[in-house]
């Protein structure tokens, strides 16, 4: 109710050259009584029976746009008639918007209570699954005006009527477990993860949830996550940060804390990180610090975040003198990786994520490295089966490393292959000039070159690494920061001990070692990789 079905329905019918019918008006015409009178005298059950009869009759007609009542979906026969006989458009509205539209409408009997918000929350919790069951299209009503909404519906209807591409087999959700005892959590991977409200609701135990996102991802997916939470009676706090690595700093962290405190969020509040690695890292660090620790959930929307940064509990922010130097180990309650979100990912961001996929094969699984070489074109073309396998195998590898070394006391440091060079590139050029994955891709080529100079791998392995990084759309030539600046930047690294710079090296492909290296060999490697 109050989503604008009548207003939008009339406009849509006019644009399509069809006849508009409002089901409630038809009931009133048949009975000679108002909806509120029927509710008061006959009761809701009798009204629903009349409503079902009207929908049975009207759904059999051709050439109409029919606006139903908000509760029509409660009748199983009505749901079947609507779904089978027409195209059903669910106009999804947030509770504050519905309250604003219905505040002075005395013709809505279900809202004539002392607490209409609570009643709406109860109704949405009951009806939302039924709306999703019956709808062919779901359209959020947050657009600025009716004409924009109608055009969106027309565009979506055109997509439905277009010739369907050859059907691809459905890819079911896949679930892995990060085994950390009492801190264990699932990683759910699939093409409709964000659409399955139960996955998220299962993680939000308290009455409040704070969704942290950015200005790029928010318009695409924020309402999709927030709507079922609100429908379930949760208070949702929205925090929208600026987009970009350059905003992974103290000021963004304070923006999250400001929102939590001003909304009186308690220690049962769940933080939800909706976005890429920057959003995930900052949100996780905020969750670790707020009231000394509140639960948080990762909903990664970039390939890099889905295969790497959302898994393992590393959280933090950057400092002008070093990347990720301020943070905490703090595990999420779940990672919900929706592969469909990768379809809206810019090409450059997709390539950045492939760097971390390549990394996992290079340090642990040479057969996976071979597979990536064979499938790199499919991965860049976003073929669902290839992406799903790449994400799953990357998460399996990282989950096993984290299980053995949660706080990077030894083994886990191998996940930083290419990162010592990569972090220096990011800091040296200024955060945001290169994407993190671009810097890591180039850093892996430099680390492979350094490994070969030390006699650990063959020249052909370096060539394979360079070809694969290039095929992924990533840079392979290092920027000229100056020898002194390179050394200065690499000295600020969490792996370093006693002033010695530590590198992750291949010995051979598929096996990683952590070592310091002679300065002259390091400088020769950097010089070679500049050309």
Of 311, 320, 297, 304, the C-alpha closest to 248 is: 320
34 contact partners, CB below 8 Å, separation of at least 6: 28, 107
Catalytic option among 224, 412, 464, 502:
412
User: Is 453 one of the catalytic residues?
Assistant: no
114 contact partners, CB below 8 Å, separation of at least 6: none
Q: Computed from CA positions of residues 134, 135, 140, 146, in that sequence, does the dihedral angle turn out positive or negative?
A: negative
Alpha-carbon distance 370 to 321, whole Å? 37
Alpha-carbon distance 106 to 280, whole Å? 45
Sheet order of strands, 174-178 included: 174-178, 185-190, 334-338, 296-300, 270-275, 208-214, 235-241
User: Is 389 one of the catalytic residues?
Assistant: no
Q: For 157-166, which contacts have Cβ atoms below 8 Å and span 24 or more sequence positions?
A: 157/87, 160/87, 160/136
Which phi and psi angles does 495 have, rounded to 5°?
-80, -20
Catalytic option among 5, 247, 389, 423:
423
> Residues 302, 356: contact at Cβ < 8 Å?
no
User: Is 416 one of the catalytic residues?
Assistant: yes
User: Is 419 one of the catalytic residues?
Assistant: yes
Catalytic option among 5, 224, 247, 398:
398
DSSP state at residue 473: T
User: Is 49 one of the catalytic residues?
Assistant: no
Catalytic option among 104, 106, 145, 292:
292
Alpha-carbon distance 436 to 245, whole Å? 8
Catalytic option among 224, 314, 389, 453:
314
Alpha-carbon distance 432 to 4, whole Å? 42
Which phi and psi angles does 86 have, rounded to 5°?
-155, -170
Q: 3-class SS at 302?
A: coil
Of 13, 29, 14, 15, the C-alpha closest to 61 is: 13
User: Is 314 one of the catalytic residues?
Assistant: yes
Which phi and psi angles does 357 have, rounded to 5°?
-65, -50
User: Is 234 one of the catalytic residues?
Assistant: no
Catalytic option among 26, 408, 438, 449:
408
Alpha-carbon distance 485 to 494, whole Å? 18
Catalytic option among 79, 234, 419, 464:
419
Catalytic option among 360, 389, 436, 502:
436
Residue 131 is encoded by which pair of tokens?
């709306």
Alpha-carbon distance 410 to 514, whole Å? 9
- Residue ranges of alpha helices (H) inside 89-145 are 95-102, 116-134
Which phi and psi angles does 99 have, rounded to 5°?
-60, -40
Alpha-carbon distance 361 to 375, whole Å? 13
User: Is 496 one of the catalytic residues?
Assistant: no
Of 241, 227, 250, the C-alpha closest to 121 is: 227
* 45 CB burial (10 A radius; 0-12, 13-18, 19+): exposed
Q: What Rg do the C-alpha atoms of the chain give, in angstroms?
A: 27
Please list the active-site residues.
292, 314, 356, 398, 408, 412, 416, 419, 423, 436
């Amino acid at each position: 109710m109050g989503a604008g079905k009548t207003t939008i329905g009339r406009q849509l019918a006019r644009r399509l050259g069809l006849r508009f019918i409002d089901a409630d008006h038809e009931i009133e015409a048949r009975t000679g009584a108002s909806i509120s009178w029927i509710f008061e005298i006959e009761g809701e059950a009798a009204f629903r029976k009349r409503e079902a009869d009207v929908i049975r009759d009207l759904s059999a007609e051709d050439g109409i746009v029919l606006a139903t009542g908000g509760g029509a979906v409660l009748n199983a026969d009505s749901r079947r008639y609507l779904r089978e006989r027409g195209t059903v458009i669910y106009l999804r509205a947030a509770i504050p918007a519905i309250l604003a539209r219905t505040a002075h409408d005395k013709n809505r009997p279900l809202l004539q209570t002392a607490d209409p918000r609570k009643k709406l929350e109860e109704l949405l919790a009951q009806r939302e699954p039924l709306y999703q069951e019956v709808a062919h299209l779901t359209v959020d009503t947050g657009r600025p005006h009716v004409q924009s909404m109608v055009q969106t519906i027309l565009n979506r209807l055109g997509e439905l009527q277009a010739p369907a591409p050859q059907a691809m087999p459905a890819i079911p959700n896949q679930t892995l477990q990060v085994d950390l005892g009492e801190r264990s959590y699932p990683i759910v991977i699939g093409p409709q993860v964000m659409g399955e409200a139960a996955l998220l609701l299962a993680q939000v135990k308290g009455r409040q949830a704070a969704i942290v996102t950015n200005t790029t991802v928010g318009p695409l997916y924020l309402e999709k996550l927030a709507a079922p939470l609100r429908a379930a009676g949760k208070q949702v706090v929205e925090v929208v940060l600026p987009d970009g690595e350059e905003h992974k700093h103290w000021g963004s962290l304070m923006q999250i804390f400001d929102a939590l405190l001003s909304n009186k969020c308690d220690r049962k509040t769940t933080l939800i990180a909706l976005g890429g690695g920057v959003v995930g890292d900052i949100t996780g660090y905020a969750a670790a610090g707020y009231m000394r620790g509140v639960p948080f959930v990762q909903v990664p929307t970039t390939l890099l975040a889905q295969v790497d940064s959302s898994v393992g509990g590393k959280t933090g922010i950057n400092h002008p003198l070093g990347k990720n130097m301020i943070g905490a180990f703090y595990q999420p309650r779940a990672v919900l990786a929706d592969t469909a979100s990768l379809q809206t990912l810019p090409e450059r961001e997709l390539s950045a994520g492939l760097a971390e996929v390549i990394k996992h094969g290079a340090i642990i699984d040479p057969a996976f490295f071979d597979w990536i070489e064979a499938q790199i074109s499919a991965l860049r073309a976003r073929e669902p089966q290839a992406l799903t396998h790449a994400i799953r195998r990357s998460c399996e590898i990282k989950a096993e490393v984290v299980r053995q070394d949660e706080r990077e006391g030894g083994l886990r440091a191998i996940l930083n292959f290419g990162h010592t060079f990569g972090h220096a590139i990011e800091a040296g050029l200024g955060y945001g000039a290169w994407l993190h994955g671009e810097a890591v891709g180039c850093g892996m080529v430099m680390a492979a070159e350094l490994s070969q100079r030390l006699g650990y791998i063959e020249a052909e392995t370096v060539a394979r690494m360079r070809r694969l990084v290039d095929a992924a759309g990533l840079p392979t030539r290092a920027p000229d920061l100056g020898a002194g600046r390179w050394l200065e930047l690499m000295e600020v690294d969490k792996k370093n001990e006693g002033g010695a710079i530590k590198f992750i090296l291949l010995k051979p492909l598929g096996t990683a070692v952590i070592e310091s290296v002679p300065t002259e060999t390091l400088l020769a490697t950097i010089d070679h990789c500049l050309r």
